[in-house]
A and B are shown apart, each in its own frame.
Chain A
């Protein structure tokens, strides 16, 4: 029977004998260390920091023993996650002292040699001599630099500066190009600012939540608490996704659109909203430009037409329109599902048009947001790591912006290179030998870029390739020089999460002997290239001071954010122009955008089919995505035993109508290649669509099959749809073990991924909870 709960029980007496070692004070204080950092009784320290993985940036404590080594994790009652963590966050600490860590530079003069451990001087000197040789023979732009959005903002700032000032090359880009640049492009076109409009807490206040192309449950698990909080208040939930994901399973409406048809769907929704008179005309008249053209365009998308394009019932379009426009306050969130397309920017704009037309903006519980995939996907491009951006989100094409930055950097305007090309375009330039040397910093394009064949060919054509990483990634294993750098817990720095809230990560342990910070390596390379005076930074704190000044007065204003304020507040959303400014968690509250005229510039969106044409030979859509246990290219998570055990290998999700049984070897063929995966037969996917998670390298890499078509504006690859066929095969392809440094044995706990040919046991591909 249930339970009527008696009055609140008296607190149990505290018995020191049963307290776990070292955490007494922490626990006594109800989850926050009584004296903040030191919950020390037996030498244990709790260091407040954030997870290194996705854009939610959950707060956590790292447990540090009395020898100064990270050995565990403790949930932290931070605003963002309120103690919650996902399996990646719980296991993240295990990579800090992982046996696969690189602890010495690796070097070889050609790809035909084996790696040998080298001294830092040797590796740095060789790299500098190669940079000089290539640039002297082929020009400065023959050397490229690719950064990463898992780096702290200080380091991404330094990547941009290092590329332009030390390498003097135009070819600087970053792996956030594969993440949310479509959303960024759309937001900038419509609002003049590149970030989500609302904090997570606004989700709790909404009446209707629309989630498009985002497997929130697996990719951003901790965000589901906000979704459920809204549901508890009675909010309706709409999910647009070709797969019935865990969050779609419980939605009021799940619209299983065919991959690559999102803007046709949203145009039809707006068509119905207009037809039924559900637009907010007063808001449109006061705050927008371009509405008449948008209204005219969506007339061409009646529900019947879009229903046919999207492969769904027309009634669902009407239902979504009424539900979204009829709600008092509605919010729309999207992620890579609608952004990873050759029309990614247009897809995002079609969602923005829907929000704006219904006046859902600038209020608690009403707005839009893009959910960042990488931890610093948001902050990673704000300070000059992207090909076309300078610090503070300034445009590299804008004369005034160039002048400002040259003044701050102390260089001649003529020496600042023009805009470069995007990450995938740089690979094509490598194939053509226009780029002959490359430094990659904490990225793994061999797994993360589409069309692996082209990527491998491009990297193999390079005369010289250096990588920074803390594990030997598949890409680093192909390099000439590998610099062993710190993991997130060995340095301090800031990241901007999905809400554009800047949070501070703290240093929990000293790096192992032989390992340096990325900051140190870049500054040392710059010194040897003769520009050491521009890179005289002792650490992140000094870089951040320069970053603050470089961003002052721009839209991406960090000037008012200091390390001390971040530690005291738990995070500040930019823009924050002065040290007294509280930050800007919610945009457009005064109805003004960041365009000079203060208006929302609505953009016309026309749907066009995906770039890879369906034919009789390739009739199905292949789409890709993540699984909850792994992160991006898997270089980190494929080495953590618990996560490998949870999801040891990729699979292909197919509908039962294709006649396969669970575990059958299925060959997936596209115009780029073919690979064999075990089948996971499920009704949770459209019959005309197959799905493969993308965290593994060849021969089990979804990205050996995906197409390298790009969105013309954002240059994001079309990962989420290409034409494919499936056929029966003999045996599944085996997952290779992650590469390790020469002389090291692969970590045994990760070997399960090599030997387990079994398909996953559930529709979401998760393994059994315990293998025993």
Chain B
């Protein structure tokens, strides 16, 4: 996990879509939001969950790995950038490769777009626009220590199992303290949680 990153806490999400609006307003892809907001159990619950780019670290971000044009660059501090407009051919390989369903393709412009962790803001020490405005802290930007100082005892995970493949990410997810080893309901078996092999 990179030093200062986004932590997603679905337990705090109120589904207000401030992050969606904020993403639309930030400078790097103004007018388009790169955030997905999902309602996880409609009809039974008001629960919701924002997804930003997880900035995969290991293996190298799948979107960048499959890009035939080498358009998706990863910076030294681990931020997976959106497609370089001079290289992107709009082939959508990245869309298919991303296990989190993050990149979007503008078919007319033949251009991929995705969250680049508001590089224009974070490079100057500001939080990304979505995490800045999130009214509840469901999106938190900072270090793990800063998160834990605010929320004592909080547990986070930054590796996700997809079948045999475990993807470690630069963005982390807050998980319930008493349920860190629960498999995703209906999902695939958990391989490793918080550094512990649970097979």
Partner of A87, one of B17, B168, B192: B17
Given known contacts A1-B192, A2-B172, A662 and B43 CB-to-CB distance under 8 angstroms: yes
What residue in chain A is nearest B136 (Cβ atoms)? A224
Cβ–Cβ contact A681 & B43, under 8 A: yes
Cβ–Cβ contact B42 & A218, under 8 A: no
Render A271-293 as a binary contact track against B, CB cut-off 8 A, 1 for contact: 00000000000000000000000
Contacts of B156 in A (CB 8 A): 2-3
Contacts of B125 in A (CB 8 A): 11-12, 27, 30
Q: Is B178 an interface residue (CB 8 A)?
A: no
**Interface-forming stretch among B62-70, B92-100, B143-151, B182-190?**
B143-151
Partner of B22, one of A1, A21, A90: A90
Contacts of B22 in A (CB 8 A): 85, 90
Contacts of A87 in B (CB 8 A): 16-18, 20-21
Count of interface residues, chain A, beta-carbon cutoff 8 Å = 66
Chain A residues 82 to 104 lying within 8 A of chain B, measured CB to CB, are 83-87, 89-91
Q: Is A623 an interface residue (CB 8 A)?
A: no
Most chain B C-beta atoms within 10 Å of own C-beta, residue among A11, A223, A250, A681: A250
Q: How far is the CA of A232 from the CA of B157 in the complex (A)?
A: 19
CB distance from B195 to the nearest CB of A (A): 3
Q: Is B29 an interface residue (CB 8 A)?
A: no
Q: How far is the CA of A12 from the CA of B45 in the complex (A)?
A: 42
Contacts of A681 in B (CB 8 A): 43
Partner of A769, one of B36, B119, B192: B36
What residue in chain A is nearest B194 (Cβ atoms)? A2
Q: Is A554 an interface residue (CB 8 A)?
A: no
Partner of A2, one of B4, B47, B157: B157
Contacts of B157 in A (CB 8 A): 2
Chain A residues 442 to 477 lying within 8 A of chain B, measured CB to CB, are none
Q: How far is the CA of A713 from the CA of B150 in the complex (A)?
A: 44
Partner of B152, one of A75, A232, A770: A232
Given known contacts A2-B157, A232-B150, A83 and B3 CB-to-CB distance under 8 angstroms: no
Q: Is A609 an interface residue (CB 8 A)?
A: no
Cβ–Cβ contact A769 & B37, under 8 A: yes
Q: Is A766 an interface residue (CB 8 A)?
A: yes
Contacts of B25 in A (CB 8 A): 72-73, 90
Q: Is A362 an interface residue (CB 8 A)?
A: no
Chain B residues 82 to 128 lying within 8 A of chain A, measured CB to CB, are 104, 119-121, 123-127
Cβ–Cβ contact B14 & A3, under 8 A: no
Contacts of A182 in B (CB 8 A): none
Cβ–Cβ contact B3 & A5, under 8 A: yes
Q: Is A249 an interface residue (CB 8 A)?
A: yes
Q: How far is the CA of A28 from the CA of B38 in the complex (A)?
A: 34
Cβ–Cβ contact A249 & B126, under 8 A: no
Contacts of B133 in A (CB 8 A): 75, 83-86, 89-90
Given known contacts A2-B156, A249-B47, A683-B44, A769 and B16 CB-to-CB distance under 8 angstroms: no
8 contacts between A and B (CB under 8 A): A1-B159, A2-B1, A18-B119, A73-B25, A83-B127, A228-B136, A763-B45, A769-B20
Report B's interface with A, CB cutoff 8 A: 1, 3-4, 11-18, 20-22, 24-25, 27, 33, 35-39, 42-48, 77, 104, 119-121, 123-127, 129, 132-137, 143-145, 150-152, 155-159, 168, 172, 192, 194-195
